[in-house]
Chains A and B, each alone.
Chain A
């Protein structure tokens, strides 16, 4: 079965620019997650979708970050405007159901903000 797909794999932008990341979860997975992983740290959940509804976005900096999951499949995470501290790897993951299930991760997008 195909894994979680993410693009782009790498992105370099200047501060105050905008950037968007795309994720395609495993077919049939209702739950989709976006994580931010800063170098040397564990992943931090930004937002969790159940189908196309938001379940948890408590740690999403909503003044600059936005995410959507139209039609309950693909998802896009956007940063506008980017700050230096947004430099990180952005990981997308999916699972069959939210509670008590393993999550399958994509390869991530490494963002560098200059």
Chain B
């Protein structure tokens, strides 16, 4: 079952620009996480935001969470060519298994 839906599916920007990706989900969550996947590699955890938090920062990353709208956004500021990758949101349910359900992902291309 797919919980998160991401928008846009693909995004192409110039180096130095900001990139914004959105994620919507359907059921209540304990936390929401963002992961990055470079071509042909495993996923790397970027940031985790808990359901009682509204905004979180990590370096050039800013994540917001609106539980009333069941949505989250990931902002990458001052993008670099090395940010080219697929970005996935994953929702952690309120059950005690901590199961993550991943969205389809946004493919980001940053042109030098």
Contacts and interface: CB of A to CB of B under 8 A. Distances in A.
Contacts of A106: 42
B97 A56 contact: yes
A41 B35 CA distance: 14
Given A43-B88, A104-B45, 12 more contacts: A42-B104, A45-B99, A45-B101, A48-B97, A56-B97, A95-B98, A99-B92, A99-B96, A102-B45, A103-B45, A105-B44, A108-B41
Interface in A48-66: 48, 55-56
Interface in A82-114: 91, 93, 95, 97-108
Interface of B: 2, 4, 30-31, 33, 35, 41-45, 48, 50, 88, 90, 92, 96-105
B98 A101 contact: yes
A91 B43 contact: yes
A102 B33 contact: yes
14 contacts: A40-B104, A41-B104, A41-B105, A42-B4, A98-B98, A99-B92, A99-B96, A100-B98, A101-B48, A102-B48, A103-B45, A105-B35, A105-B44, A106-B42
> Interface SS of chain A: helix, strand, loop or mixed?
loop
A75 interface: no
Given A42-B105, A91-B42, A103 B100 contact: yes
Interface residues on A, range: 20 to 34
B43 A56 contact: no
Residue with the greatest number of chain B CB neighbours at <10 A, chosen from A93, A103, A107:
A103
Nearest to A91: B42
Contacts of B97: 48, 55-56, 98-99
Nearest to B31: A100
Nearest to A107: B42
Contacts of A31: 98
Interface in A17-65: 31, 40-45, 48, 55-56
Contacts of B105: 41-42
